[in-house]
Each structure stands twice: as C-alpha cells, then as structure tokens.
Amino acid sequence: MRRLTLLCLAALALLVAVPAAGASTTVTIDTPSKIIAKGALTPEDLDAGKLVTRVVVPDGYSSKKCAPVLYLLHGTGSELHPAPTEWFVQGDIEHANVPAIVVVPGGGPMWWIDQWSNTARAPGWESWFLNEVMPAVSKRYNICPQRSAHAIAGLSMGGYGALYLASQRPGYFGSAASFSGVISLHRPEWTGYDRFNQLWGPAYAFYALAHDPVALVKNLRNTRVLVEAGDGTTIGNEPLDGPKRLEELEFTGMSEDFVAHARKAGVAVTYQKHGGIHTWPNWKLDLKNMLAWKPFKKVVATPKTWTLATAAKQGDAWGYQWKLAQWPGSAVRLSLAAGTFTAEGYGKMTVVTPKGKTVKATLPFALKGASTKAKHIARVKKPLLTIDRLAPIKVVVAPAAPTATSPITVTFTTTQALAASKVYEIGLTYVSGGCGQTVVARVTQPAKGKVVTATLSPSADKPAWCAGTAVAGVLAVAKSSTGFALGDILGYQQVTFK
C-alpha cells in the first residue's frame, strides 16, 4: 500500500493514447467522480493528478459495429508497478490480442467496493465503477448489448472485485474470472487483515457477508465463472520469492474454498490450478487461459428464476432497477420465482420493473406477475446471508525474541476435529528479509480441544535463523501432501529474527 513518487506520476503521464504496434490503440479517458470526494483520493489512485480509465481498442474497431467488452481490474500495485498501469507495464495487455474492447479503470488499493468506513460507505469505488465508469464507456463505444458480450476479470484484489461486481450485476456480466483472487473473505488468515474493518466492517456482520463472494455464490448461478490459481511453484526461470509463494498459497486456498461453495450452489465454475506464485508470470498465464476459456460464449439472456443478495443502496437485478431510501442496515435479498418478484430485508424501496412500471413499497414485499401493487409478506426470521464460521487458532511462539540458533516452540489449541485424511502442519516461512528458509513440522492430531506443541529448528543446510520477519502458521493439509503444502490456514503468529 505504498505511495507513488512524483517521478512515477510524471512517467504515468506518458502512457496516454499510446498505439500498440499494429494490434490496438490505448485511449485514456478522464473519469472523475461526483461520488468520491476529492479529499478521499490519494496519489495511488491518480495518474498525473487525474482519476482516469484506460481503454484498449482493438485494431479494426468501428463504431458502426458493436464489440464485446472486457473490464480488466488491477491489484493493489507497487511503487515499481502502480495499480492503474500494472496491466500495461507488466501485463502487456495491449499485445494480448483480446477479441474485445478492454477497459482498465484506475484507482489504487481501494478493493472495488464502497468501503464500510464506520458506516460511511466511503470512498465509493463500487459506485464509481458501476455508475460512472461503465456509463462513460458505454456512451463512448458501441458495446454489444448481450450478456455474453460482457466479461469482467482481475488479479488479486481485482480478482475479488471481478467476482464481487459480477455478483452485483449478474444481468450485465455473462462471465467473470478471478486470477489469484481474495475471494473468500472470512477465512481466518484474512479477517486479521489490518484494513478489514475499514473496508468491510466487522467480520461475519451483514456488510462483510454481503461483500464475500463465498456468501454471494447464488448471485452467480447464471454466470460463467473462471477461477485461476498458482500452486506455489515458479514458472520458467522465475526466481523463487518466499513471501510471494506464501501469498499465492493463501489466495489459492481461498480460491478452492470459493470453488467448493460455488459448485455446491450450482454455479458454472471452471477451476484451473497451475504453476505460479503471486507474480506476473502467473497472471499472464491466467489471462492466456481465460482467452482460451472463451469468455464471450453464449449464456442465458434472462433466467426465469434468480436470487440476488446485496448490501448496496441501489442496483439493477436482471432488469429490475431498484433503490433504497437510505443505506440498508442489514442484507437485502431480491429474487424471482414463478413470475413473482420478491424483495426482503428492511427499508423503503423504489423499483422500476423491466416493463418500466414504478413501484414504491416497504420491505419485505412481493410483486406477482405484471402487477404494480406490492403485497406485504411475512418477514424471514433467519439472517438473509450466512456463512460457515471457521474458528481461528491462536498461535503462541516462544521465545518471543529468539536467538540465531535456538529452536522455537509453536503452541496452539485445536479448534476442530480434522478429517482422517488431514493433519496439522506447522510451518515457518519469511515474509521479509530471510534467506529462503522454510521449516515445517507435522502433527497428527484430529481431536478437538487438545493442546499441540511443535518444535521448529533451523534447517540443516542453514543452521542459523536469518535476520528478517517470518510467520509461524498452522495449516490443515492432506496427509499425502509433501513440503510446505497448500491447506486451510487456521492461524499464524509473526516472528522477528534479528
């Protein structure tokens, strides 16, 4: 989450309207926001002081003929590769031969949502994207109207944004793809993220659940979904970066969690795991795989039955344009079944039906058939959105300030009974500094509520701990896996070696 230097900003200004040798032209559109206060924007969000969107227009495009569109979302970026331009500087998107207009919105590490911010829902990046960027693109370019012509994809933070935004506009996006995405917010390793409460509010509360792709899988039942993830091995001659490997394994665990829930919900999800760590060789492969997956395949135009859960103030649910009088204080669920439109939750809502009829009513209510008379319905007592709770494990590391050669002990109390096919893996790997050390111990301990203690010592080839910051983590992994394996990260503790 680093700030751009003035030198970086000056360099970004050179990327405006650059033709890509014979394949495409990149156009930069000013997309200022009336929704996001100027004071809320940081240098990371801007290019030469402006909030912009870049559009890669394929060779041969003519406004006389409509074209499909791919919205391609960036990750959090870095000083070397700022978020708004990383798909150009590192991803070489101008030469990717995407058979569509490619739209890359700007912004920094904003997570593509209207941030919780202690109930303020600001800055409103989701609203900026849906209500300002997308209309600006549609006004400027002749985009084909069919759902099958609209795709959205992204890497890391952008992978999260792609699945979340597709879940909020299922009637528009026919396909969505996540590359190493943060797509299972309530895994224990992520609820401890230092920005979690500012972005999504308290874990397991309505706003966080209404922004978790796992909790929203039913919204995507009529959408083609692709999930790409790396297995922690490097690609080609790429050097191994321990922190990037650990980061990828964390998000791959999220990907597999999402995929399992999506398949159970009947979502048409394709999952591809391959070599890769949390770096650009992985994401360029993901983009190639997505194009081979054919993101503009035919999909159902309008399903007869659908469900859409949300915590937004307004939206478009399969042609039902709706707006609440104020931000909801709980999840809202809209659905269509047997010709009846149902709106559940709390608040006053205005709905414009697909036939242009306006209805105003207090939730919960139903509209049967073509009727414009809302009928009050019984309120559901259970929460409209729920998710399985994963009990985090508290990890204790001793000594608190380890010496160069001393073993460390990792102690925790089990919070679940593991399946017979799994064991606890206790691993230590560096997130900064270090010298490539990774130390692992395994404990077969399926009983719940038992205290487990493991001893980790420097490896034989490196008999002293290296200076740097590491994490000692507890994972549940398959017995058959080897090395520092991919699994459910149940808890971790930071360790500093001086």
Q: Global pTM?
A: 0.85
Q: Name the more confident of 19 and 90.
A: 90
What confidence tens digit (pLDDT) does each residue in 38-67 have? 999 999 999 989 999 999 999 999 999 999
- Domain limit, last residue, from 293, 322, 349: 293
Asked if residue 434 and residue 370 are part of one domain, the reply reads no
Asked if residue 353 and residue 269 are part of one domain, the reply reads no
What confidence tens digit (pLDDT) does each residue in 321-342 have? 999 999 999 999 999 999 999 9
**387 part of a folded domain:** no
What confidence tens digit (pLDDT) does each residue in 105-130 have? 999 999 999 999 999 999 999 999 99
- Domain limit, last residue, from 347, 376, 405: 376
**215 part of a folded domain:** yes
**244 part of a folded domain:** yes
**389 part of a folded domain:** no
What confidence tens digit (pLDDT) does each residue in 481-492 have? 766 556 667 777
8 A C-beta contact, residue 341 and residue 373: no
Asked if residue 148 and residue 65 are part of one domain, the reply reads yes
Give me the number of domains the chain comprises: 3
**385 part of a folded domain:** no
Query: Residue 463: enclosing H or E segment and its boundaries?
Result: none
Asked if residue 284 and residue 226 are part of one domain, the reply reads yes
**78 part of a folded domain:** yes
pLDDT higher than 70, residue 258: yes
CA angle, residues 65, 67, 69, in degrees to nearest 5: 160
pLDDT higher than 70, residue 260: yes
Per-residue tokens: 436: 């490539």
Whichever domain contains 470, its CATH number is 2.60.40
Asked if residue 447 and residue 360 are part of one domain, the reply reads no
Q: Give the HSE-up count for residue 449: Cα atoms under 13 Å, Cβ half-sphere.
A: 0
Asked if residue 348 and residue 214 are part of one domain, the reply reads no
Comparing CA positions, the residue from 169, 191, 245, 162 lying closest to residue 429 is 245
| CA distances (Å), origin 111, targets 75, 129, 261, 331, 359 | 8, 11, 22, 20, 33
Handedness of CA 428, 431, 437, 438 (dihedral sign): positive
Asked if residue 218 and residue 117 are part of one domain, the reply reads yes
Whichever domain contains 17, its CATH number is 3.40.50.1820
Region of 92 (left: φ > 0; alpha: ψ -120 to 50; beta: rest) is left
Residue 461 three-state SS: coil
Q: Which residues pair with 274 in a beta bridge?
A: 230
Asked if residue 349 and residue 209 are part of one domain, the reply reads no
8 A C-beta contact, residue 110 and residue 73: no
Asked if residue 234 and residue 193 are part of one domain, the reply reads yes
**162 part of a folded domain:** yes
DSSP line for 253-273:
HHHHHHHHHHHHTT-EEEEEE
Asked if residue 402 and residue 349 are part of one domain, the reply reads no
Asked if residue 452 and residue 369 are part of one domain, the reply reads no
pLDDT higher than 90, residue 314: yes
Q: Domain range spanning residue 63?
A: 6-293
**391 part of a folded domain:** no
Cα–Cα distance for residue pair 287/5, rounded to 1 Å? 29
